[in-house]
């Protein structure tokens, strides 16, 4: 029966583990010096060597012919562990054996001494899947483990493990392998299997593997069945990179703000039985590529794409500003979440695309930033054409109004008599101003109770029945600011303030009184 390449070429020694030298060097030293611990946590993304290193460590601590920390690989114990037939080494999948009863069985078995090996080694894969009760049961034996027991926990989500377990384990964080390291291993496997592969094809496999050797060898397995010589085209075809033209088309229509064309493209994809959730997910990744391209000149080393496709990404990224790209990613991510709860996934996706074509429909931060960026770009174009914007808007000539309270810096306000009669009208919002002041300053509110106010040009003239009001205002600058701020808050206009004084009519100015006086002087009307 054919054996998959990732299983056939699984490392059996620490020296064969690629890209994790920062971990294997420590484990080698611990085994050779007999200073290894009773509990380990190996954490990192999938397919990067966690379980592989756990099995090698189980061999190394039990191998009678161990040398410099490496197992011999030839003894019965090493072969038994490689074949999975040694009963003293237990590999448990916590995803399917996650309940408290499974851990209780493990605890009962752990108390027995090993049958053949020196140590019982329990490798618990996907340890974060244990239930809370199971994790607490495991913690009990990890606190006081038998001398012949070693626990190795492997997980992709270490943050989900209880802190009490983490504190009792030696933690090793596995790194994603660089594409160049994966490419070298791929070429080694091809040499052993007599598979012809081009260097660019091996490097593309390394990029597409996302740091995982297992995914790389699985992709190589598919490619070897496709063509006699594995090229870049072979890898792209087998990885599904070809036929992604619709992503560029959708992005182009969004850049052009062409709603009709975007909806038509979605309709065409939907008629072709495309899954809109997957399209949305792929479009998110596409805008992520545009973001990386717009942020760094070394995008080709980060983005998984063919050389020709990379050029298109770089060109298309220039059609968007960074705020527009961030806005697109935000909207699409929110839409992907809504799709899982919506009865109409297509509708959610179409709404998202309409928003991307019309940022003014959204009041979110990203949308506003995108609109500001667009305005700034348009202004830059106008300036480049010689069209400038006035720095200051010309002010209309101010009306000459009577100044009743004059603000002088560092001096107290003075009351100035009016030489001409001002055109005054009642300030209709004065009651709202007083109510606003009531919440800010109780003393000032009491002085203004029962008062009225009148507008006179750029000033609000206050008529207070309290005789102490004018004197208080002359001595208290803070109160004057409180009134000004209250007026601004209520009516949205900044006014000056002053006291309102009723103009007393002089005797000679009143025609009727003047006539009566003249009549008295002539003796008319006297009895």
Same domain, 233 and 128: no
Using DSSP, state whether 426 is helix, strand or coil: strand
Residue 484's φ and ψ, nearest 5 degrees, are -60, -45
Same domain, 378 and 461: no
Which residues on neighbouring strands pair with residue 67, listed in sequence order? 70
Same domain, 230 and 339: no
Same domain, 62 and 161: yes
211 lies in some domain: yes
pLDDT of residue 390: 54
Domain count, the chain: 4
Query: How far is it, in rounded angstroms, from Cα 190 to Cα 168?
Result: 42
Using DSSP, state whether 270 is helix, strand or coil: helix
89 lies in some domain: yes
422 lies in some domain: yes
pLDDT of residue 507: 44
125 lies in some domain: yes
Which residues on neighbouring strands pair with residue 297, listed in sequence order? none
Domain at 189, CATH number: 1.10.8.60
pLDDT of residue 489: 83
21 lies in some domain: yes
Query: How far is it, in rounded angstroms, from Cα 67 to Cα 254?
Result: 62
> What range defines the domain where residue 449 resides?
405-499
The pLDDT profile of the chain, 527 residues, written as one tens digit per residue, is 678 898 889 999 999 998 899 999 999 999 999 999 999 999 999 889 999 999 999 999 999 999 999 999 899 999 999 888 898 999 998 888 888 888 888 888 888 899 899 999 999 999 999 998 999 889 888 888 899 999 999 999 999 999 999 999 999 999 998 888 999 999 999 999 999 999 888 988 888 888 889 999 999 998 988 878 898 888 878 876 656 788 999 999 999 999 999 999 999 888 877 788 888 988 999 999 999 999 988 888 788 776 678 889 999 999 998 888 998 999 999 999 999 888 889 999 999 999 898 877 665 555 566 666 666 666 666 676 666 655 554 555 544 444 444 443 434 443 433 433 445 788 888 888 888 888 777 777 777 888 888 888 888 888 888 777 777 777 777 788 888 888 888 887 888 888 877 654 444 455 555 555 655 555 554 44
DSSP per position, 70-82? B--S-SHHHHHHH
Domain at 435, CATH number: 3.30.300.180
Domain boundary among 384, 413, 435: 384
Could you list the beta-strand ranges (E) of 9-167: 39-43, 89-93, 120-125, 149-155
Same domain, 136 and 198: no
Query: How far is it, in rounded angstroms, from Cα 315 to Cα 176?
Result: 29
Same domain, 168 and 267: no
Same domain, 149 and 91: yes
321 lies in some domain: yes
395 lies in some domain: no
pLDDT of residue 78: 93
Domain boundary among 239, 260, 284: 239
Same domain, 268 and 328: yes
Domain at 284, CATH number: 1.20.272.10
Same domain, 20 and 152: yes
Same domain, 322 and 450: no
Domain boundary among 158, 173, 188: 173
pLDDT of residue 526: 45
438 lies in some domain: yes
pTM beyond 0.85: the answer is no
Same domain, 127 and 212: no
Same domain, 121 and 155: yes
DSSP per position, 434-497? HHHHHHH-HHHHHHHTT-EEEEETTEEEEE-S-TTHHHHHHH-HHHHHHHHHHHHHHHS---EE
Contacts of 26 (CB under 8 A, 6+ apart): 172
Could you list the beta-strand ranges (E) of 49-186: 89-93, 120-125, 149-155, 170-173
Domain at 92, CATH number: 3.40.50.300
């Amino acid at each position: 029966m054919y054996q998959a390449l990732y299983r056939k070429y699984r490392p059996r020694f620490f020296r064969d583990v690629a890209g994790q030298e920062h971990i294997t060097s420590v484990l080698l030293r611990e085994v050779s010096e007999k200073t290894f611990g009773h509990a380990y946590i190996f954490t990192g993304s999938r397919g990067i060597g966690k379980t592989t290193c756990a099995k090698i460590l189980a061999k190394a601590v039990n191998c009678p012919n161990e040398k410099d920390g490496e197992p011999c690989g030839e003894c019965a114990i090493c072969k038994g562990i490689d074949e999975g037939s040694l009963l003293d080494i237990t590999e448990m999948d916590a995803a399917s054996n996650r309940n408290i009863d499974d851990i209780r069985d493990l605890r009962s078995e752990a108390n027995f001494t090993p049958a053949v090996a020196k140590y019982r080694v329990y490798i618990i894969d996907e340890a974060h899947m244990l239930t809370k009760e199971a994790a607490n049961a495991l913690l009990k034996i990890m606190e006081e483990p038998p001398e012949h027991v070693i626990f190795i926990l492997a997980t992709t989500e270490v943050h989900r493990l209880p802190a009490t377990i983490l504190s009792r384990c030696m933690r090793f964080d596995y790194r994603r392998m660089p594409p160049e390291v994966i490419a070298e291993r791929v070429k080694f496997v091809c040499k052993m299997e007599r598979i012809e592969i081009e260097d660019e094809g091996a490097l593309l496999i390394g990029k597409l593997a996302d740091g995982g050797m297992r995914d790389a060898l699985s992709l190589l397995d598919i490619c070897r069945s496709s063509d006699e010589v594995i090229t870049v085209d072979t890898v792209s075809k087998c990885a599904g990179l070809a036929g992604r033209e619709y992503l560029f088309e959708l992005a182009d229509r969004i850049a052009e703000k062409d709603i009709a064309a975007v909806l038509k493209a979605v309709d065409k994809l939907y008629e072709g039985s495309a899954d809109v959730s997957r399209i949305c997910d792929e479009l998110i990744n596409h805008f992520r590529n545009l973001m990386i391209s717009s942020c760094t000149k070394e995008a080709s080393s980060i983005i998984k794409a063919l050389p020709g496709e990379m050029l298109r990404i770089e060109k298309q990224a220039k059609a968007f500003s960074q705020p527009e790209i961030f806005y697109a990613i935000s909207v699409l991510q929110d839409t992907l979440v809504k799709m899982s709860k919506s009865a109409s996934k297509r509708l959610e996706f179409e709404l998202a695309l309409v928003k991307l074509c019309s940022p003014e429909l959204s009041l979110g931060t990203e949308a506003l930033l995108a609109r500001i960026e667009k305005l700034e770009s348009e202004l830059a174009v106008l300036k480049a054409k010689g069209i400038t914007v006035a720095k200051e808007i010309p002010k209309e000539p101010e009306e000459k109004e009577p100044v009743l309270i004059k603000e002088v810096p560092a001096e107290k306000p003075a009351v100035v008599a009016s030489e001409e009669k001002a055109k005054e009208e009642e300030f209709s919002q004065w009651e709202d101003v007083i109510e606003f002041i009531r919440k800010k300053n109780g003393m000032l509110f009491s002085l203004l109770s029962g008062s009225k106010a009148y507008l006179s040009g750029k000033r609000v003239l206050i008529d207070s029945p309290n005789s102490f009001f004018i004197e208080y205002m002359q001595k208290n600058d803070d109160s004057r600011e409180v009134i000004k701020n209250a007026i601004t808050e209520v009516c949205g206009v900044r006014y000056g303030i002053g006291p309102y004084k009723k103009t007393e009519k002089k005797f000679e100015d009143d025609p009727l009184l003047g006539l009566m006086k003249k009549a008295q002087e002539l003796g008319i009307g006297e009895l």
